[in-house]
């Protein structure tokens, strides 16, 4: 889930913005950034009239070049665009202080508190794999542990952590994922990888992802942005892998060089990078929330099932349903961690775009507000076209209850839970490796409302948890019954449910394997 959260926050670092003033002259930039991040520069030039000259070299070389020139009291560059915070902190004396007026619109976590460098985006450490080569080798790569497979000796590439900020971030992420900075086993893993697997050390990050694309390497230790750019440009032989052990998204920086000749133009660029337009551009062109790929659940699976990421899966999704994936991801992120920033993000997206973004807002309310308030606020929407989005969110709830004679492991007490997909689902068994759940309360009046009009046509449910699996395209009735406790104490509700499912069982043809109506008969019958 780290990657879901990071991608969602990255897309809206900015919560407001202002227009930029026109200017002229030039701006000289030193940058380790990929083509994807550099592609925003023409937009800046068009808006301001400033001519930008870019020299693309690695982070370490940028710092060395700037430091050498400053020691001689001059500078070729006005601004450094890119690089990790650690590099700027270690070289703070090379940059002058500047806090953009646009900084006020950033989330608190990303505000400029150091003055000499400015956060403008976040990027994550990933593995880029050549799918053709892995298929030929007969292996899979889902995380760091998989990199130690003997088939990959000499087939892994990385930039030099000593000179590349992205490679340094990859190293720190790797250590964290494998045990921590001070863990001997984590450092042993690094040694086994870089020495034992004969990792090829490239001069820069661009050589890594291009080498994987060209078939020189099977795996590259790199970062998200250039990989996304390659895929957007049409590459079909590569795939971005977010390590199952976890990945970290870290802010990238901009700094105005101390002896800059074009200071005002440098400030204009910093202002521009924090503008709403630039932030939206980066989110749409350099970040990725999800990648859909076909993958069977089990050996004989022939249904249309797709992985969004590890631990999040959809079945039988139409193109229209797939459009709801970002909202599903944010809803899942709120279940995992209802952080105030995520709550604010849900509200902003719903206010700005509406539609499926009602899903995370409704889930936020279910998690954080009294059940009576949630019902009174949102139940009126059941009489509007927006009701479908309510059903999608309710489909992520599940009343967990066990039979009285249950003798197997209990995952928790009976009760309503909001949950994210179980994880590695296989036919007939369940792997709970990725299960996240949160106990919530649901006003009983929802059940009365959902049981109305049993004769009417029922909508599909974008996300529901029937049979302990996440299904993007599922049955309203399956969703409904998943919200019901094993014992219904209210006699009026029990009567309504009995009549509802009796009528539905007569109206709807179902396969014997679908136990919705059978279960209902047993639970709410006489």
pLDDT in tens, 391-446: 989 988 888 887 777 777 777 788 898 876 544 444 334 343 445 678 999 999 99
Encoded tokens for 111: 């505000």
Tell me which fold the domain 2-121+251-286 belongs to: D-Maltodextrin-Binding Protein; domain 2 (3.40.190)
- Which of 199-203, 230-234, 281-285, 359-363 is least confident? 281-285
For tokens 């004969």, what's the residue?
Answer: 198
CA 207: distance to chain centroid?
26
Q: Above 80 in pLDDT, residue 303?
A: no
Both tokens assigned to 497: 């449910």
- Residue 16 confidence (pLDDT): 41
Convert the pLDDT of each residue in 55-99 to its tens digit.
998 888 899 999 999 988 888 999 999 988 888 999 999 999 999
Place 130 in a pLDDT band, splitting at 50, 70 and 90.
very high
Say yes or no to pLDDT of 125 above 70.
yes
Q: Is 31 helix (H, G, I), strand (E, B) or coil?
A: strand
The mean pLDDT value for 218-242 works out to 85
Give the C-alpha separation, 360 to 382, whole Å. 17
Query: Does position 311 have pLDDT exceeding 60, yes or no?
Result: no
Rounded to an integer, what distance in angstroms lies between the CA atom of residue 357 and that of residue 331?
9
Every domain of the chain with CATH number 3.40.190.10 lies at: 2-121+251-286, 123-249
The confidence score (pLDDT) of residue 100 equals: 95
Q: Answer yes or no: is pLDDT of 490 > 80.
A: yes
CA distance linking residue 341 with residue 134, whole number of Å: 39
Percent of the chain exceeding pLDDT 90 equals 37
Question: Would the pLDDT of 524 be above 90?
Answer: no
**Which helix or strand (DSSP H or E) is residue 276 part of?**
helix 276-286
Round to whole Å and give the CA distance between 242 and 249. 11
Whether residue 434 contacts residue 367, with contact meaning beta carbons closer than 8 Å, is answered with no
In this prediction, residues 138-144 reach a mean pLDDT of 92
Is 123-249 a domain of CATH 3.40.190.10? yes
- Which tokens in the block code for residue 291? 């990648």
The β-bridge relationship of strands 118-130 and 79-84 is unpaired
């Amino acid at each position: 889930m780290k990657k879901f959260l990071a991608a969602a926050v990255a897309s809206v670092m900015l919560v407001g913005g202002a227009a930029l003033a026109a200017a002229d002259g030039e701006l000289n930039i030193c940058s380790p950034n990929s083509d994807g991040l550099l592609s925003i520069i023409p937009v800046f030039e068009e808006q301001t009239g400033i001519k930008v000259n870019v020299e693309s070299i690695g982070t370490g070389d940028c710092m060395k070049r700037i430091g050498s020139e400053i020691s001689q009291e001059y500078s070729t560059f006005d601004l450094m665009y890119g690089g990790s915070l650690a590099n700027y902190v270690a070289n703070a004396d090379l940059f002058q202080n500047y806090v953009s007026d646009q900084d006020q619109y950033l989330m608190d976590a990303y505000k400029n508190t150091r003055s000499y460098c400015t956060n403008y985006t976040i990027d994550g450490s990933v593995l880029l794999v050549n799918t053709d080569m892995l298929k030929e080798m007969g292996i899979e790569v889902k995380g760091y542990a998989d990199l130690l497979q003997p088939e990959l000796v000499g087939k892994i590439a990385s930039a030099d952590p000593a000179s590349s900020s992205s490679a340094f971030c990859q190293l720190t992420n790797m250590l964290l994922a494998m045990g921590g900075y001070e863990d001997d086993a984590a450092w042993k893993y690094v040694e086994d990888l870089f020495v034992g697997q004969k990792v090829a050390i490239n001069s820069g990050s661009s050589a890594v992802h291009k080498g994987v694309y060209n078939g020189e390497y099977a795996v590259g230790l790199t970062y998200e942005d250039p990989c996304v750019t390659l895929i957007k440009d049409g590459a079909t032989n590569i795939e971005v892998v977010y390590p199952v052990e976890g990945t970290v998204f870290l802010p990238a920086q901009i700094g105005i060089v101390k002896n800059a000749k074009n200071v005002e133009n440098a400030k204009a660029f910093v202002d521009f990078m924090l503008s709403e337009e630039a932030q939206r551009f980066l989110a749409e062109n350099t970040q990725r929330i999800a990648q859909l790929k076909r993958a069977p659940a089990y050996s004989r699976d022939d249904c249309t099932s797709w992985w969004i990421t590890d631990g999040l899966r959809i079945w039988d999704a139409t193109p229209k349903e797939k459009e709801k994936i970002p909202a599903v991801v944010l809803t899942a992120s709120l279940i995992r961690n209802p952080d105030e920033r995520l709550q604010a993000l849900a509200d902003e997206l719903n206010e700005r775009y509406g539609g499926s973004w009602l899903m995370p807002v409704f889930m936020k309310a279910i998690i954080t507000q009294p059940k009576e308030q949630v019902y009174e606020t949102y139940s009126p929407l059941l009489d509007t076209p927006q009701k479908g989005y309510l059903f999608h969110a309710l489909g992520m709830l599940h009343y967990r209850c066990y039979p009285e004679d249950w003798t197997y492991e209990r995952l928790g007490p009976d009760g309503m839970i909001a949950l994210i997909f179980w994880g590695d689902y296989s036919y007939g068994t369940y792997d709970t490796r990725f299960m996240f759940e949160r106990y919530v309360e649901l006003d009983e009046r929802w059940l009365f409302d959902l049981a109305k009009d049993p004769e009417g046509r029922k909508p599909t449910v974008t996300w529901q948890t029937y049979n302990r699996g996440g299904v993007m395209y599922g049955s309203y009735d399956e969703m409904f019954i998943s919200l019901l406790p094993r014992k219904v104490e209210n006699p009026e509700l029990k009567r309504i449910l009995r009549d509802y499912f009796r009528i539905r069982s007569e109206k709807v043809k179902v396969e014997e394997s679908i136990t919705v109506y059978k279960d209902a008969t047993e639970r709410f019958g006489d």
